[in-house]
Amino acid sequence: MTTLADPVPGGRPGDLRRVAELTANLAARGVRGIVLAYVDTAGVSRVKTIPTARLESAVTWGIGMSPVFDTFLAHDSIVTTDVLGSPDGDLRLYPDLDQLTVLAGQPGWAWAPVDRITQEGARHPGCSRTFLRRIVADAAARHGLAFKAAVEVEWAVGLASAPDGEFVPAVTGPAYGAVRQVELSDCTADLLAAFAAQGVEVDQIHPEYAAGQFEISVGTLDPVAAADRSVLVRQTIRAVAARHGLRVSFAPAVLAEGVGNGGHLHLSCWRGGANLHAGGEGRYGMTAEAESFLAGVLAHLPALTAVTAPSPASYLRLKPSQWAGVFTAWGRETREAALRVVTGTAGRQDQDANLEVKPVDLAANPYLALGCVIAAGLDGITAGRPLSGEITGDPARYEPDEAAALGVRRLPESLPQAVEEFRADQVLWDALGPVLADAVTAVRLGETAVVEGLDDARVAAAYRWTY
């Protein structure tokens, strides 16, 4: 379990007791430096690195970094809000030792996610990891709920030697095809070895639909650890691929046309060790609370899109009939509904039943995405919101009256539309707090301005290697 305690100047007590031994251990394993990782509002993984010998100082006093990154755009220009984006100020990055991992794909390096606090020791309201820790702590305190989560990761493998930022698939062959598996055999085996060494539990890895595309599913964790893991998984895939002369893209749309890269969230609510998505009186074994949780997520989904699909390139992926889930609908194992109810196989349902949220991509900051989806679901539980009727098949084929009867609505088709929905959503605004909500709005509008006048192919190219 992730510790939900905020860092404090002088260090968290538990950390101080173990850091010297940990540092000696890392040094003995040949670890020379530690990557301190966080994800900015735009969804870009940013880092600072320190020599291993500085770890004790980092967990005691943090490492300095400007708060300006909260309003960085994906291409490094900067927008401003009332309180963010100025060149003034400094924050302290505190690594989470529970998540510290020796990187098998980057010999000599270890990795840890960070929380950011102010120099005075207060929570930084722009820190997305702190935000998710708070949402999870509040859910435990107010609702007695815990969650299990996982982020699916899809990516496209290209040749590092391709000219001018172009995407040249590194493998051939059909979707889900054995040809691809064979062609990427060595790299994938190294990847599995790296994950095993890093203690990342892999459920499955397979060739996906689009050219050069693969997907990995990993085991569930508490939401903060699951978000950390999704960052670590991508860092590992990128590093191992680079050692094979390959370049990977987690961008929502590597090319303007066709199926994109998703970052579906899997989430289940638990109370006292019981999964609320199984063994209940509701549909497919859901408890009344699980149904209301789904209803809450569905109700906020158009606004959530500004968080879960945050890039102009996200809207090249969010198209009907491409398994990206672009309609406000739910269904059992329905891959065209935004919410897919996964019941699990007979005999495992109490463990495996969960909710899959599909209109999420890997440009999304996973801490913001999980925190906002949970806040939306909790709003459904608080309000006792009833869940609409389920759908089957592809809602793109529904007649308008059929769609209206089931509350099936197309999600925003552009980033500005999503921002409009987001701005009107008080629940998400309250959950994020004004500083983070303003940052989300400013960054999305900034990205929108960046792509003004660009055609789809240029938008895809602009974000192809950013995420």
Phi-psi region of 152 (alpha: psi -120 to 50; beta: other; left: phi over 0): beta
Question: Is 336 among the residues that bind Mg ion (CB under 5 A)?
Answer: no
Per DSSP, the residues of 283-302 read: GGG--HHHHHHHHHHHHHHH
Q: Which residue in 124, 129, 277, 317 binds ligand GLU (CB under 6 A)?
A: 317
Alpha-helical (H) ranges within 309-433 are: 314-317, 349-352, 366-383, 400-405, 415-423, 426-432
Rg (the chain; Cα; Å): 21
Burial of residue 372 (CB within 10 Å: 0-12, 13-18, 19+) is buried
CB atoms within 10 A of CB 136: 23
When asked if residue 262 is in the footprint of ligand GLU (CB under 6 A), the reply is: yes
Judge contact between 100 and 107, C-beta under 8 A. Answer: no
Q: Among residues 262 and 285, whose Cβ is nearest to ligand GLU? A: 262
Residue 462: CB atoms within 10 Å: 20
User: Quick one: which of 43, 95, 223, 260 contacts ligand GLU (CB under 6 A)?
Assistant: 260
Q: Which does 96 bind (CB under 5 to 8 A by kind): Mg ion, ligand GLU, none?
A: none
Residue type, 406: L
Q: Of 283, 335, 410, 423, which lies in the binding site for ligand GLU, with binding defined by CB under 6 A?
A: 335
Rule CB under 6 A: which of 355-374 touch ligand GLU? 358
| Tokens of residue 309, six digits | 């699909």
Using CB under 6 A, pick the residue from 293, 323, 330, 429 that binds ligand GLU: 323
Assign 3-state DSSP to the chain and report helix, strand, coil percentages, each to 5. Answer: 40, 20, 40
Q: How far apart are CA 395 and CA 171, in angstroms?
A: 33
**Which window, 22-30, 61-69, 259-267, 276-284, contacts ligand GLU (CB under 6 A)?**
259-267
Kindly state the smallest distance separating residue 209's Cβ from ligand GLU, in Å.
6
**Could you say whether residue 378 binds ligand GLU (CB under 6 A)?**
no
Question: CB–CB of 411/317 below 8 Å?
Answer: no
Question: Residue with CB nearest ligand GLU?
Answer: 262
Decide if residue 215 touches Mg ion (CB under 5 A).
Answer: yes
What does 335 interact with, of Mg ion, ligand GLU, none (CB < 5 to 8 A by kind)? ligand GLU
> Using the rule CB under 6 A, which residue among 44, 259, 339, 364 binds ligand GLU?
259
Q: Does 271 engage in binding with ligand GLU (CB under 6 A)? A: no
The residue range among 30-38, 66-74, 255-263, 297-305 that interacts with ligand GLU, by the rule CB under 6 A, is: 255-263
3-state class of 204 per DSSP?
strand
C-beta nearest to Mg ion: residue: 215
Choose which of 154, 190, 291, 421 interacts with ligand GLU (CB under 6 A).
154
Min separation Cβ 358 and ligand GLU, Å: 6
Partnered with residue 112 across adjacent β-strands are 36
Residue recorded with tokens 């691809």 = 180
If contact means CB under 5 to 8 A according to the sort of partner, which of Mg ion, ligand GLU, none does residue 324 touch?
ligand GLU
64, 91 Cβ separation under 8 angstroms: yes
- Among the candidate windows 63-71, 84-92, 316-324, 369-377, which touches ligand GLU by CB under 6 A? 316-324
Nearest CB to ligand GLU, comparing residues 259 and 459: 259
Determine the size of the site formed for Mg ion (CB under 5 A).
1
**Contact residues for Mg ion, defined by CB under 5 A:** 215
**Contact residues for ligand GLU, defined by CB under 6 A:** 154, 209, 215, 259-260, 262, 317, 323-324, 335, 358
